[in-house]
Amino acid sequence: MHKILVKQPMMRRVLLGLLPCVGGAVYYFGWRSLFLIVWAAAAGFFTEYIFTRQRKEPVSEAVFVTTTIFTLIMPPTVPLYVLTLGVVFAVMFAKEIFGGFGRNIFNPAMAGRCFVYICFPVALTGTWSPAAQGLWGALDRWTTAAGAQAITGATPMTDLKAGRLIVSSDPQASSQVPFSIQEGKTVHLKSSIFFQALLSGRLSGTMGVTSALLILMGGLYVFFTRTANWSIIISLIASYAVLNQLLYWAGVPPVPGAWPAVFGGGFLFAAFFMATDPVSAPRTQTAKILYGILIAACTVVIRNFSIFNGGLMFSLLIGNMFAPILDYLVRMRQAGKKAQEVKP
C-alpha cells in the first residue's frame, strides 16, 4: 500500500507564510472564510487523489497551497459551488492532466480563478462584502454579508480606476473609511488615510488579500527563508512600481502612481505567493528577472487600460506561457557566449 500524502517542507513553509492572510480573512470577513479554505482543501485533496491513486503515487502537499491561495483570492461572497468547481478545475485541468506535481505549465490557482472568472463573472465581481470594523472585527460572526444591506458593488481599487475615488493630499478631503459612493458622485479621500486602509485591510475585496501588511508578514517569511525566489519578487515589484510612477508623472489616466498600485488589489500577494511558483516560473536566473518584468508590464496595461480589473490574473498566465521561451532564449545566449569564448 502506497503513502497517501507526501511531505514537502517547502510547501509547508508556503502554508506558514499564508497564515497571516488566512487570519486576516477570518478577522475581516467572518468564519465562513475559514470554512471555505478547509472545504477547498478537502475538494482539492480528493480531486488529486483520484489521479495519483491510478499512478500509485501519493498526493503532494502542494495541493493545499493551491487550494489555500485559490480561496484567498475569491470574494467572501463566493458561492460554494463556484469555489468547488474552481478548485476541481485548478487541480484536474491545470495540474493533473500534465502529469501531476512538477509538470504543470500554468499556476493552478490562477488558472482556476481564470476559469471561474470567465464562467461566473457576476459571482466573482458583482457583489463584495465590506470588511468588519471595530476591535474584534468579524470574529463574532459567520460572514459580513449576512444581508443585502451589507453588499457593495465595487472595491476601492475599482472605484479608483473609474475615477469615483480620488486620493488627495487636500486637507479638506474625507478621512472616513469605509466610504460609500453614490451613483454619479466622487469621493475625495486623504492619501494618508487610504494608505493606512490598504495596509490594515479594512476594505472590501477578495477575502485574503486586502491587507498589504499581512501579505508582507507572510511574504517576507517566504522571502527570507528562500522559499520564494528573490529575483522574481524584486524584479516584479520594482518594475511595476517604476512603470506606474512614470505613467503617473506623465499624466496618463487612470494610472494611480506607484504606492496605490503596489499596495492595492492584491498585487503583493501575487508577487510573493503566485509569480514565484517554482514549477510554472522560469529556471534560469536571467529569465526569472525578465519574467518579473514581463508580468509587471502586462499588469500595468491590463489593469489600467482594459475592461478587466484583475490584470494580474491574465498577466501571470501570460508569464507562465513565456517562461519556457525565456529559459530557451537565455540558454541560447549563454551557449553562444561560450562558443565565442572557445574560438581561437
The residues facing 152 across adjacent strands are 128
Burial of 195 by CB count in 10 Å (0-12 exposed, 13-18 middle, 19+ buried)? middle
In sign, the C-alpha dihedral spanning 169, 170, 171, 176 is negative
Contacts of 98 (CB under 8 A, 6+ apart): 104, 105
User: Nine-digit cell at 138?
Assistant: 468579524
Q: Which helix (H) or strand (E) covers residue 60, if one does?
A: strand 59-60
Taking the model in full, what pTM does it have? Answer: 0.92
Amino acid sitting at position 186: T
C-beta neighbour count of 42 within 10 angstroms: 13
Please give the distance of CA 66 from its chain centroid, rounded to a whole number: 11
* Per-residue pLDDT tens digits for 244-288: 999 999 989 888 889 989 998 789 999 999 999 999 999 999 999
Three-state secondary structure string covering 298-337: HHHHHHHHCCCCCHHHHHHHHHHHHHHHHHHHHHHHHHHH
Q: pLDDT digit of tens for each residue in the chain (344 aa)?
A: 358 888 899 999 999 999 999 999 999 999 999 999 999 999 999 999 999 999 889 999 999 999 999 999 999 999 999 999 999 999 999 999 999 888 999 999 999 999 999 999 988 887 778 888 888 989 999 988 764 444 455 677 777 777 777 777 777 666 666 666 656 677 777 788 888 888 988 888 899 999 999 999 999 999 999 999 999 999 999 999 999 999 999 989 888 889 989 998 789 999 999 999 999 999 999 999 999 999 999 999 999 888 877 788 999 999 999 999 999 999 998 887 777 766 65
What length does the chain have? 344
